[in-house]
Amino acid sequence: MYPRIERKKTRVVWVGSISIGGENPIRVQSMTNTDTKDVKATLEQIQKLYSAGCEIIRVAIPDEKAVKALKDITKESPIPVIADLHFITSLGEKAVKAGIGGIRINPGTFKNKKNLDRLVRVCKDYGVCIRIGINAGSLESEILKKYKIPSPKAMVESALNWLEYIVEKFDYQNIKVSLKSSNWWNTVKAYELFSKKSDFPLHIGVTEAGGLIPGTIKNTLAISYLLLRGIGDTLRVSLTADPVEEVYVAYEILKNLGLRTLHPDIIACPTCGRCEIDLMKFYKEVENWARNIRANLKLAVMGCVVNGPGEARHADLGITGGKGVGIIFKKGKIIRKVPERELLPAFFEEIEKFLREHPERLILSS
């Protein structure tokens, strides 16, 4: 059982070939941490992210050389590319012409409105999606003067002002919005408030969240809170870690809310004194192997021969072990006993057999 979530109906926008909002799936994004000028390294990382399930990728364009590299990156990327722009709008214009599907602008970093106007016109000409990315740490001075602190109300007023400005002046609506803070509670309050005032799609997440563990916790709190209230059309789990981990964490959140499944769900016991196998090693190997499979499947990695099959009877397939022996079970019933050293190969063999017998469990597209 999963919570019943009624998503807010937002308008549909397009980032390249990917549609966002409306009844579309909640899209998973990430951002490269390679030097954009290094086309080979950037494309290699994009391919890894794509293989993990990333649907839209953002790259930094801090200078002319980075923008020049975009032409090759957008041409070879298997997923739409978003350019991350700050300060210099002319770089954004060139990025649009290089073939990007979207551009993220932080209005608080632009001082010359005429330059921003020119960029919006180019985006409209090329059909490029604009993300108005409001960050608590870079609100425009007049907003800060009014509110004193970068409060949720301040962030929302900034976002609505810029949204109204672009829509009314340029009659352009291929726009999504984000309102991020490093404080997860301020983040969700800003999104909630904005969602009551606008039907433009929202890209959700927490900025400057931290490393793998603390960052995952902050992101999970904020993203889950919002998704449970039906808010959010696309998301990024920002982590100071390998961006591939951002994608896996994102899908774990979506999977546990019953919103999207991409990779198998793996349950495992926390180990205790009865455990006679290297459970953590087994779990890690199963996890790494399962990351290469797209299937709606529940797997179990248990550490106790006596209780393993019973405790995990709801799993499609599972393993447990004792001294030198491994057991494979299916829906709680033992189907094979093998030497411990043969347990993982035999388990993977049984999973592949199960999927051949149940092709409906495979996720062919996301």
Could you tell me which residues are annotated as the binding site for [4Fe-4S] cluster?
A: 269, 272, 304, 311
Give just the sign of the alpha carbon dihedral 197, 203, 208, 214. Answer: positive
3-state secondary structure of 254: helix
Q: Could you tell me the sign of the dihedral formed by the alpha carbons of 85, 24, 249, 209, in that order? A: positive
CB distance 79 to 41 below 8 Å: no
Give dist(CA 32, CA 287) in Å, integer: 23
Q: Are 248 and 218 in contact (CB under 8 A)?
A: no
Q: How far apart are CA 128 and CA 17, in angstroms?
A: 11
Amino acid type, 140: E
Q: Which residues does the annotation place in the binding site?
A: 269, 272, 304, 311
User: At 310, which amino acid appears?
Assistant: G
87: left (phi over 0), alpha (psi -120 to 50) or beta: left
Q: Are strands 325-330 and 333-339 parallel, antiparallel or unpaired?
A: antiparallel
Which residues, at least 6 apart from 135, have a Cβ–Cβ distance to it below 8 Å? 106, 108, 180, 181, 207
Phi and psi at 134, nearest 5°, equal -85, 125
Check: CB of residue 283 under 8 Å from CB of residue 73: no
Residue pair 166/175 in contact by the 8 Å Cβ criterion: yes
Q: Report the amino acid identity of residue 218.
A: K
Instruction: For residue 306, give Cα distances in angstroms to 274, 279, 282, 336.
Output: 9, 15, 18, 15
